[in-house]
């Protein structure tokens, strides 16, 4: 109530209360007090006398306008002419009512309050729409759309000012984040993403734009950045910020991040091109194991295009008959004859020729194509092993590698069972080789899968043994048959007493656990002799044979 009369304000309040309005009010009579009242409370309506000493309704309206509050303003005065009142309404007054005319004042107040509520609802809806359109609901950070707008606005602003645009766009990708979702559930994953967003926001300057682009990716925009050194320092801080663990139910969870960087204008002046190039740089980091920083280079696009073409070709390689198998003999250390063979897949590309496994196996793992390729390899290998058995090689075993991707899928049991059934191969003639790192990723799950495979009757070998950190403590728990000693220990076996001691220890431990041992990477007669003397059961390596086509594979006679 803007009124110079305390009595008039009291009467007005009493009359409105008598007519059913529960009100709280404050009387002011000058601009300073009115401004203070508007700042202190969220008022629903202003009722103002028109003529007061040194202050009038239009001056009060001006105070309201400067406060930027959307509050209905009604003149309630006995000293204002109709012409003055109408003029005031053109200035923004919502209505005017003569003093004492409560029959009209109450409906006017109710009408204006309804209008104010409607306007607030519209503003709230607009704010909510704005929030949904431009902000990420999980982290409350700007979303992909707003991030792109801010980058484009900065580039356009520089161009309009006649200056070359400058800046850096960084994409932060959390390495192997799906393991968190798979192990702890999506709710935990979402909570960690919120913590990551908060940690990054707290560490980045106010001029830096941080956004959640989607999934486990965050975007960072450094407007005006032209020095690669300073950009690299900030990207390095982002990577190091993950050194501190994230807590979940008093459990420390350690994550790493890969950061790809695209510079403006050298790597593009359109935000989508910059994001794409930064993500191209991330793919390079991921191939090296993640947890690093990489600036985009133009040569990466050519490599990416070639990789996409190669991936497309690989999807059809099986049906086109471009994949084939080679066999590396497994040699008995006792009589130095071949008693089995490890199957290795090769690709005869129609345009690029013969490709080494290093060119396509990692790609097959990354894309999931290894599952279908692995099923084909297993089927071909078991059929060939059945033919060996039919010609009299009853004790020959065929070894097939199982990738980490295959081993993590319950479908592996079905694939193995189908291959054995279709080929009529006795399960004991099949050896599945599984890398030590695959087993150590989730030991409990690995034990369950290995037991299921053992119940089928197949043999299981741990490949690349010795390259892990905790394998010895788990070895007795794993239901396996064979330990394959990694070639990194065999290479310097005759020169490095440390490697020799490790190999002897592995052979002795396997013997105590009644497991067979195969030494990989045997390249000299001296290595073979040392391994035989140490009690190794089987040998494999270039000293005996490189991987060869089927027609060049010869088993010991008689089979053993």
Q: How confident is the model at residue 477 (pLDDT cuts 50, 70, 90)?
A: confident
**What is the pLDDT averaged over residues 64-79?**
89
The closest of 159, 145, 160 to 265, measured between CA atoms, is 159
For each of the domains in the chain, give its residue range(s) and CATH number, in order of start.
Answer: 6-133 (3.40.50.2300), 144-296 (3.30.70.270), 370-541 (3.20.20.450)
- Quote the tokens at residue 401: 């590698």
- Quote the tokens at residue 415: 């694939």
**What is the pLDDT averaged over residues 531-554?**
94
Distance, in Å, from the CA atom of 399 to the CA atom of 396, rounded to the nearest integer, reads: 10
Inter-residue contact 294 to 304 (CB < 8 Å): no
Q: What pLDDT, on the 0 to 100 scale, is given for residue 435?
A: 86
Q: What pLDDT, on the 0 to 100 scale, is given for residue 467?
A: 65
- On average, the pLDDT of the chain sits at 89
- Locus of tokens 């087993």: 439
Q: What pLDDT, on the 0 to 100 scale, is given for residue 185?
A: 83
Torsion of Cα atoms, 123 then 129 then 134 then 136, to 10°: 110
**What is the pLDDT averaged over residues 148-156?**
93
Q: What pLDDT, on the 0 to 100 scale, is given for residue 556?
A: 75
176-204 per-position pLDDT tens digit: 888 787 778 888 889 999 999 999 999 99
Per-residue pLDDT at 348 exceeds 90: yes
Contacts for 348 with CB less than 8 Å, ≥ 6 apart: 322, 323, 324, 354, 355
382-424 per-position pLDDT tens digit: 999 999 999 999 889 999 999 888 888 888 999 999 999 999 9
The helix/strand/coil state of 44 is: coil
Q: What pLDDT, on the 0 to 100 scale, is given for residue 560?
A: 40
* 99-to-15, 74, 361, 448 alpha-carbon distances in Å: 12, 11, 89, 87
């Amino acid at each position: 109530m803007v009124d110079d009369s305390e009595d008039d304000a009291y009467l007005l309040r009493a009359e409105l209360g008598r007519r059913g309005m529960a009100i709280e009010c404050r009387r002011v009579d000058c601009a300073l007090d009115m401004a203070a009242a508007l700042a202190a409370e969220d008022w629903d309506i202003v009722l103002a006398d028109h003529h007061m000493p040194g202050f009038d309704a239009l001056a009060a309206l001006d105070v309201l306008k400067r406060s930027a509050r959307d509050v209905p303003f009604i003149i309630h005065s006995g000293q204002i002419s109709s012409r003055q009142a109408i003029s005031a309404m053109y200035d923004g007054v919502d209505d005017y009512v003569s003093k004492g005319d409560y029959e009209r004042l109450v409906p006017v107040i109710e009408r204006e309050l309804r209008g104010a509520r409607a306007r607030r609802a519209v503003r709230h809806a607009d704010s909510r729409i704005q929030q949904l359109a431009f902000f990420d609901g999980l982290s409350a950070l700007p979303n992909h759309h707003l991030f792109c707008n801010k980058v484009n606005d900065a580039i356009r602003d520089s161009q309009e000012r006649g200056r070359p645009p400058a800046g850096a766009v960084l994409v932060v990708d959390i390495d192997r984040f799906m393991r968190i979702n798979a192990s702890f559930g999506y709710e935990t994953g979402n909570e960690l993403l919120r913590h990551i967003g908060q940690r990054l926001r707290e560490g980045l300057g106010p001029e830096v734009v941080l956004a959640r682009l989607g999934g486990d990716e965050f975007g960072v925009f450094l407007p005006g950045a032209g020095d690669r050194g300073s950009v690299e320092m900030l990207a390095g801080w982002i990577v190091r910020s993950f050194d501190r663990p994230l807590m979940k139910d008093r459990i420390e969870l350690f994550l790493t991040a890969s950061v790809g960087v695209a510079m403006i204008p050298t790597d593009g002046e359109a935000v989508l091109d910059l994001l794409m190039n930064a993500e191209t740089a991330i793919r390079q980091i991921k191939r090296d194991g993640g947890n690093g920083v990489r600036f985009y280079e133009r040569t990466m696009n050519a490599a990416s295009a070639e990789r996409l073409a190669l991936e497309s070709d690989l999807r059809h390689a099986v049906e086109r008959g471009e994949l084939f198998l080679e066999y590396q003999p497994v040699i008995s250390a006792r009589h130095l004859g071949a008693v089995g063979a490890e199957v290795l897949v090769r690709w005869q590309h129609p345009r690029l020729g013969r490709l080494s496994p290093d060119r396509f196996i990692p790609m097959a793992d990354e894309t999931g194509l290894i599952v279908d390729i692995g099923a084909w390899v297993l089927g071909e290998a078991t059929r060939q092993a059945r033919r060996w058995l039919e010609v009299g090689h009853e004790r020959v075993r065929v070894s097939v590698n199982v990738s980490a991707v295959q081993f993590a899928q319950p479908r592996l049991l079905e694939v193995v069972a189908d291959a054995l059934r279709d080929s009529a191969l006795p399960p004991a003639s099949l050896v599945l080789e599984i890398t030590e790192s695959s087993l150590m990723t989730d030991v409990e799950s690995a034990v369950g899968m290995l037991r299921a495979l053992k119940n089928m009757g197949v043999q299981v070998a741990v490949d690349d043994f010795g390259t892990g950190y905790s394998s010895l403590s788990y070895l007795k728990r794993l239901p396996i048959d064979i330990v394959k000693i990694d070639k990194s220990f065999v290479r310097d076996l005759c020169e490095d007493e440390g490697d020799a001691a490790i190999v002897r220890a592995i052979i002795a431990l396997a013997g105590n656990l009644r497991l067979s041992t195969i030494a990989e990477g045997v390249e000299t007669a001296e290595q073979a002799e040392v391994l035989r003397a140490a009690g190794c059961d089987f040998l494999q390596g270039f000293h005996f044979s490189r991987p060869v086509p089927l027609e060049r594979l010869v088993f010991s006679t008689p089979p053993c």
